[in-house]
Amino acid sequence: MEQPILQLYPQPYAECMLKGLYLAHDVRQFTNAASPYIYANFVSSLDGRIAIPRPDGSGLMVPKNVTNEHDWRLYQELAAQADLIISSGRYLREWAQGRAQEILQTDDPRFADLREWRMSRGLKPQPDIAIISGSLDFPIPDVLKHDGRKAVFFTTENPNPERVHEIEKREGKVVVAGKNRVEGKLFARHAYELGYRVIYSGAGPKILYLLLKERLLNRLYLTLAHRILSGNPFATIIEGPLLEPAMNFQMNTMYLDKTGLNGMEQLFVSYNRV
């Protein structure tokens, strides 16, 4: 984690250390706005793959050819700055199947500094978690209550009362944020009213579409692994109908990691929505 990272933008060029690279972005500086500050992060191959089929055919997974410790460290730094982390029912189903891992791993000795970073700022060890789901059809693991975390379930009108009762019995909160689907603006408004000012999306391409369609995403982080994978089917960072008009972004930062991808290069890039 002590390898130097080359800052390409903004100029002048400079060498930075990986540890603390994204903490220095301090997204919590935007907490005084009248709506939540929302940011998302993906790791992608050069040909746009963020997920490929599992070997056993049971859904998609992040390609092992692009995952790496440097990207994972920065993922943790982004998660550590949030009040609320967006996830989905699919994450809970995968957790129940043993295929998912804790989003922010402040119990891991490698990331003990992130736990200390949060505590020094009067934050809980773990951000709360938002589950966006129209069906509420998933198991509810105990991990949601880890380290005093709260779980908020954003769903559609007339949810199954038995499921609502079960969730609330487990100390979760159910919030209606749309009629036939969860609507981005209602999600953001309710989250803001609940006191969440900085929201990190650790979810997939459908959630990114929801955030972009209603112009809620403020910043996008991308790790671009310098590898081409190919393969079908695959997932890219966003999934949904054509955005009209197209969404414009302006580069915020760009760093070159020369050896982080098992000796190969990768880029860490962040963009602000215009």
pLDDT tens digits, one per residue of 229-248: 999 999 999 999 999 999 99
**Residue of 134, 108, 103 lying closest to 40 (CA atoms):** 103
Rounded to the nearest 10 degrees, the angle between the axes of helix 69-80 and helix 112-120 is 20
142/148 Cα distance (integer angstroms): 11
- Domain map (residue ranges) of the chain: 4-273
What is the per-residue pLDDT across 132-190, written as a single tens digit (0 to 9) for each?
988 888 877 766 666 678 889 999 999 989 889 888 887 789 999 999 999 999 999 99
Q: How many H helices and E strands in the chain? A: 6, 13
- CATH architecture of the domain 4-273 equals 3-Layer(aba) Sandwich (3.40)
Cis peptide before 141 (omega within 30 of 0): no
- Cα dihedral sign for 90, 95, 98, 102? positive
The pLDDT, as a whole number, for residue 237 is 97
Token pair 């695959």: residue: 234
What is the per-residue pLDDT across 19-65, written as a single tens digit (0 to 9) for each?
999 999 999 999 888 899 999 999 999 999 999 998 887 788 899 99
Helix H or strand E segment including 224: strand 217-225
Model confidence band, residue 93 (pLDDT cutoffs 50, 70, 90): confident
The pLDDT, as a whole number, for residue 136 is 87
Instruction: Check whether 1 has a pLDDT greater than 60.
Output: no
Model confidence band, residue 100 (pLDDT cutoffs 50, 70, 90): low
